[in-house]
A and B are shown apart, each in its own frame.
Chain A
Amino acid sequence: MTAPAPGQSGLQVRGLRRHGLQPLSFDLGPGEAMAVTGPSGAGKSLLLRALADLDPNQGQVSLDGVSRSQIPAPHWRRQVAYLPAEPGWWGESVGEHFHDWSAALPLLQRLGLAADADAWPMQRPSTGERLRLALVRALLQSPRVLLLDEPTAALDAAAVRAVEALIADCLHQGMSVLWVSHDPAQAARVARRQLVGGQGRFFESPS
């Protein structure tokens, strides 16, 4: 096996555009994090949804040199996982949303979630608990790229630290992370690079 050519590994975005988003290009290497900031309505969620291919969009997106258009969408989304600000749930109980609860346990406990939460009815977890459950659910797919939309918005300080530490470990293992945050301190803490947006136009701010 030869290593991928430089510039070919990680996420490569060229001229990505969609309704509400001006053309945007950037590279995100393995183990690299980039914060996405900007006021509400800047198009941050639109950007993440376009990268996950959840809405119609144009432009070239590739992962490790393989173009997205050559990969079936479900397979793409397992590699480029998107965690929305309000994750969705289809089952009656928490456990129904996990293939293998025992595999999820270490991550759940790291994030301060109860080990018996699989039996909870879906009405029971708080907004913050749901966000962490959804994060674990997404991480269990071992994605290459993680698209986070305000993953700590409803969390207390201890839980924020736990999530940030967990994501830092994921970065160490080579995952790439795009992290939408409204908190400038968090953006500076979790990522060295930053995409700043407004009215659908994003540019990388020099750090």
Chain B
Amino acid sequence: MQNDIALSYRDLACSSLLLWANAALSVRLSLGVERRLLWSGVRMVLQLSLMGWVLALLFAWISPWATGLAALGMVGFAGFETVARQPRRLAGWWAYGLGTGAMLMAAALVTLFALLGALRPDPWYDPRYAIPLLGMILGNTMTGVGLGLNALSNGLVNRQAAVEARLMLGFDRRAALAPVMRDALVSAMMPIINTMSAAGVVALPGMMTGQILGGVPPAQAVKYQILILFLIAGGTGLGSLAAVLGGVYRLTDARHRLRLDRLSRLR
């Protein structure tokens, strides 16, 4: 790699001043967000450092089992994060199971698709490709799944009368919930649609920026970014579709009733 600038811990400490400044603003304007801001910053630093260490280990081992285990761990954490971001959750085991299952299915399919299709590293489970790819796909799929499930449960609660009016007129559950389901899927897909629309014109996506800063020629970085955005779009679409369809299934029953009693109470 040519002329890449190695970062020191002092450089990082310096740039963290921006986060402190934000926290100070939050205190000054009594926004009350300072603790969450700083805590998320601390988490980010710890988690990424841990990931750096894990990646170094995985790169040294190149074992399908270790890579698979790390991937499963990432999906598990994504499931927890999705639940934590939901004010209205499905009651019981479903809250965690639905989002996690949808993400596991979507991220695994799309990552394997990229590894076996476009990238073909040797061996195909080489963690240098598999784990970062999965991370990019999973992070965005998580956002989509979370937004979709939120929009679904909020939509059903707020539009209960409208949905039940359709049920009472003899619509089946899929048809009765279709407008809410459509809005949930649109809201799940909105971030990736916006990202793709603005990519290159307004925003340089993070991965491409990282590669360019790391010394990769722009043309190469652009190709990787395009691949990644396609994968993210696919993962988000699949994952949020599975999660929203699962949510529709769980929030209705075989007698075509709306079952809001299967949502836990608003926190």
Q: Footprint of B on A, CB under 8 Å?
A: 52-56, 72-75, 77-78, 81-82, 84, 86-90, 97, 134, 137-138, 141
Contacts and interface: CB of A to CB of B under 8 A. Distances in A.
A88 B179 CA distance: 14
Contacts of B163: 88, 90
Given A54-B257, A75-B170, 6 more contacts: A56-B253, A72-B256, A77-B170, A84-B165, A88-B159, A90-B179
Interface residues of B, number: 21
A90 B257 contact: no
Contacts of B255: 53, 73
A74 B257 contact: no
A78 B165 contact: no
B167 interface: yes
Contact of A54 (B162, B167, B170, B171): B167
Given A55-B257, A73-B256, A141 B170 contact: yes
B38 to A, nearest CB: 44
B172 A74 contact: yes
A82 B168 contact: yes
A87 B257 contact: no
B166 interface: yes
A56 B252 CA distance: 11
Contacts of B166: 88, 90
Overall SS of chain A's interface: loop
B26 to A, nearest CB: 39
Contacts of B161: 84, 86-89
A87 B256 contact: no
A39 to B, nearest CB: 23
Nearest to A69: B255
Contacts of A137: 169
Contact of A74 (B160, B165, B170, B259): B170
A73 B171 CA distance: 9
B217 to A, nearest CB: 52
6 A-B pairs closest in CB distance: A88-B161, A88-B165, A78-B170, A90-B162, A73-B256, A88-B162
A55 B96 CA distance: 25
Nearest to A86: B161
Contacts of A73: 255-257
Interface string B135-165: 0000000000000000000000001111111
Interface in B218-267: 253, 255-259
B169 A141 contact: yes
Contact of B257 (A56, A75, A134): A56
A84 B258 CA distance: 15
14 contacts: A53-B257, A54-B164, A54-B257, A54-B258, A55-B257, A56-B253, A73-B257, A74-B170, A84-B165, A84-B168, A87-B161, A88-B160, A97-B165, A137-B169
